[in-house]
Amino acid sequence: MARLEDGKGSGRQVKVDSTYRLTTQSVIETEALHSTEAGTSYNMNTGLISISADATLAYYKNNGLKDFVIEAIAIGSFEGITHSDDPYITLVRNPTAGDLISDETVSGVMNQNRNFGSNEDLSGYFYKGKVGGTITGGNDIAILQATPGGRSFYTINWVLPKGSSIGIKLTSNITSGSANWYCAIIGFEKLNTKDPED
């Protein structure tokens, strides 16, 4: 008679209940949490940008071997601006040019691993935008309304394979004033779930 036993020689056997089911115990967690535990999830934040007109906010390009999953984008705006209408951001898929990319601005950027005990670094470029900044090429993929004087959080779950990028620009609809804004991209490097090639 066949028996299922622990493979390390402890002699422990699998328990079968009265309905002939195997008894097991498991821990279920999200892929995002698992990636954070593995040290491959990141919070990329522009830091504060003084906004007084339309602006570029952020750019990220994945240069790593693994797909990068953008879980969410967060926007924060402080008080001090009068808007003619609600401001909004436009997400640009695979932009190719503009000073958002060519300036390579990393001053003030907060680019951090979400596992405080990990020394892994983000595989890619993350740049900070500016008022009057430019971003061209690619395709507009989404428009998201922002909350003036508050925080907006957008769950998107987009996948950026190696070489893919995203740009974020702001249409501010400002009539007067200025205020600090920030933009954050939250995401993780995806685990390889494909079957290995034979």
Q: How far apart are CA 194 and CA 178, in angstroms?
A: 48
H helix or E strand, kind and range, residue 49: strand 49-51
Q: How far apart are CA 174 and CA 176, in angstroms?
A: 6
Per DSSP, 28 falls in state: -
The structure tokens listed for 10 are: 């402890």
The letter for the amino acid at 119 is N
84-98: per-residue pLDDT in tens? Answer: 999 999 999 999 999
The structure tokens listed for 129 are: 């935008």
pLDDT at 198: 42
pLDDT at 67: 95
Q: How far apart are CA 135 and CA 61, in angstroms?
A: 14
Residue in the structure block whose two tokens are 């804004």: 181
| pTM for the whole structure | 0.85
Close Cβ partners of 162 (under 8 Å, ≥ 6 residues apart): 62, 63, 64, 65, 66, 67
93-149: per-residue pLDDT in tens? Answer: 999 999 999 999 998 899 999 999 999 999 899 999 999 999 999 999 999 999 988
Name the CA radius of gyration of the chain, rounded: 23
Q: Give the mean model confidence (pLDDT) for residues 10-20.
A: 82
Question: SS3 for 32?
Answer: helix
59-86: per-residue pLDDT in tens? Answer: 999 999 999 999 999 999 999 999 999 9
161-173: per-residue pLDDT in tens? Answer: 999 999 999 999 9
Residue positions counted in the chain: 198
How far apart are the two ends of the chain, measured CA to CA in Å? 34
pLDDT at 26: 82
Share of the chain above pLDDT 90, in %: 75
Going by pLDDT thresholds of 50, 70 and 90, the confidence category of residue 16 is confident
